A and B are shown apart, each in its own frame.
Chain A
Amino acid sequence: EVQLLESGGGLVQPGGTLRLSCAASGFTFTNYALTWVRRAPGKGLEWVSGISANGADTSADSVKGRFIISRDNSKNTLYLQMNSLRAEDTAIYYCARQLYYFDQWGRGTQVTVSS
């Protein structure tokens, strides 16, 4: 059974940092691209960052230069380093396995940016 388990969310002040993790199991991690998607309060889903099986990464303009996606294939884990956080980054962050669409999702971790 495919499982994606996010962790690392929490309450952080504006300008602060957080590092999210997503532990994957039940599939061959190195064969798949992975992505982070978020859902802000009262809003829809927003693609944040993605990383291919060979490590090429892309990010949305809204987080470019502040968020860094990475993966550790030895630990079957996806990461999102979030720097210079803003109030508008408040959201539930989901990791997802990516084909072109997203076929498996975690249940998310809450990130709240507030003073």
Chain B
Amino acid sequence: ETVMTQSPATLSVSPGEGATLSCRASQSISTFLAWYQQTPGQAPRLLIYGASTRATGIPARFSGSGSGTEFTLTINSLQSEDFAVYYCQQYSDRPLTFGGGTKVEIK
């Protein structure tokens, strides 16, 4: 099983600032990585797939990068609706696995 580790667990950011979230895989997953956003009481929302491709309707302030075992989600100029929990997920092998999440909170 591929273990996904996200850091930090919590990130405190002021509105308008940027944020960088990390995700590490326990073995190489090429670019078979997705990122999701979840706000309280809402369904998770797909942000990024293929490590760097934005899903339909996702603003350009969200970008993903990385390959192999190290990945990054960057959010430029955080808006109020961006304060949420973010998860990475690998789909290189089975079972499909998620990271533990990074909570982005208002500083």
What residues make up the interface of A, taking CB atoms closer than 8 Å to B? Answer: 35, 37, 43-47, 50, 58, 60-61, 94, 96, 99-108
Q: What is the minimal beta-carbon distance from A104 to any residue of chain B, in angstroms?
A: 8
Contacts of A106 in B (CB 8 A): 43
- Whether the Cβ atoms of A102 and B44 lie closer than 8 Å is yes
Judged by a CB distance under 8 angstroms, whether B32 is at the interface is yes
* A-B residue pairs, 4 tightest by C-beta: A101-B34, A105-B43, A100-B91, A45-B98
In the complex, which of the residues A35, A43, A100, A108 contacts B43, with contact meaning CB atoms closer than 8 Å? A108
Chain B residue nearest to A103 in the complex (CB): B46
Whether B44 pairs with A44 at a CB distance below 8 angstroms is no
B 92-107 contacts with A by CB, 8 A: 94-101
Q: Is the CB of B43 within 8 A of A94?
A: yes
A58-B94, A101-B34, A103-B55 known; A45+B89 contact, CB < 8 A:
yes
